[in-house]
Each structure stands twice: as C-alpha cells, then as structure tokens.
Structure 1
Amino acid sequence: MQVIKLLISGKVQGVGYRRWFEKLAIALKLNGYVKNLPTGEVEAVVVGNETVISRLITHCYTGSTCAHVTQIDVTQIEQKNLEQISEYTDFKILR
C-alpha cells in the first residue's frame, strides 16, 4: 500500500479536471481525495497499489477534455502506522 500526494499544474481548474480525476481513481479502486488549491493547481492524495497509482499518474497528463497539464509533482507520503491510511476509505472531491 502506497500513499502519494500529487500537485498538478496547468489549466486544471474550471475544466472538469477534479470530476475526471475522481472517476478515474474510483475506476482504478484507489482511495483518497482531489481538490482545487488557491494557487490554481489541483492537489490529490491517492492511496493504493504502486502499479495502479503509476497508471493513474500517466493518465493525469491527459486529463479532462479542456485541461492542459504542464507539470505533476509527486511526493510519497510516509505512513508511520496503518491508522493514517485507514482514514481514506473511498475517493472524493474536497471543496
């Protein structure tokens, strides 16, 4: 089980990117969240299998129809105990 934080830059707000991301994450059976940041970027925390997360990241460069992703910063989040991971029981959009 891996926990990854993504910071996605480009034209990713106001183009349906979070909804697209949520649908893909659910289809891949990943847990976590996605949200807009005041900086114009999108942040996502994803919990799941490393191979599946890598597939998600690859698709993130395409994104929704009107999106244009210029950069994705990936940070692995170290989990000291499984209780922290268990707080992510589904995938959702945070507002």
Structure 2
Amino acid sequence: MNATRFIISGRVQGVGYREWCRREAESLGLSGTVRNLPDGTVEAVFIGDSAAVDAMLTRCRKGPPAAEVVSIGLDPVDMKAVDGFVILPSG
C-alpha cells in the first residue's frame, strides 16, 4: 500500500474539485481523504497501489472542467487504509 499526500494549488476551490476527486479515486480503487485548506489549496491523501496513485496524479493535474491546477506538491505519509474515500470538512 502506498499513501501519498497531494497539495493541489490553483483554482481548485469552488469548482467541484473535492467531489470530482472522490469519484476519480473510487474509480481507481483508492481510499483516502480530501479537504479544502484555508490557504485556497486542496489537500488529498490517496491510499492504494503505486500505479493507481500515479494515475490519480495524472488526473489531478487536469482536474474537473472548471479547475485550473497550477501545481501539486507530493509527500509520502504513514497512513493506513480508510474505508472508502471521504470528503472531510474544510480545515
């Protein structure tokens, strides 16, 4: 299992990015979490096999139609699988 934290910046809040993230992650069999951060970025943690996490990175670079992704920061994290993919309250 691979767990990677993405910090996605650009126009990513108010454009359906979290819901889009949830659908895309589930389609790849990933578990994890996503939330808006106060600085205007989106934080997502994707947990699953490396190929699926890599595929999610490719998808996140584009995002949903109204998004404009500028950059994505990546950090490996020590997180166990969660049940499904959860949209967390903004934090």
Identity %: 39
CA distance in 1, matches of 2:36, 2:69: 14
Q: CA deviation at 1:92?
A: 1.1
Q: TM-score, normalised by structure 2?
A: 0.94
1:16 and 1:59 mapped to 2: Cα distance? 14
- Alignment of 1:90 with 2:90, yes or no, is no
Alignment RMSD (CA, Å): 0.9
Distance in 2 of aligned mates of 1:53 and 1:33: 13
Decide which structure has the larger Cα Rg and report it.
1
Aligned pairs for 1:7-86 within 5 A: 7-77=7-77, 79=78, 84-86=79-81
How far apart, CA to CA, are the structure 1 residues paired with 2:67 and 2:16? 8
Aligned: 1:2 with 2:18: no
TM-score (norm 1): 0.90
- Segments of 5+ residues of structure 1 without an aligned counterpart are none
The count of aligned residue pairs is 89
Give structure 2 stretches of 5+ with no counterpart.
none
What CA distance in whole angstroms lies between the structure 2 residues aligned with 1:65 and 1:92?
21
Distance 1:20 1:89 in 2: 18
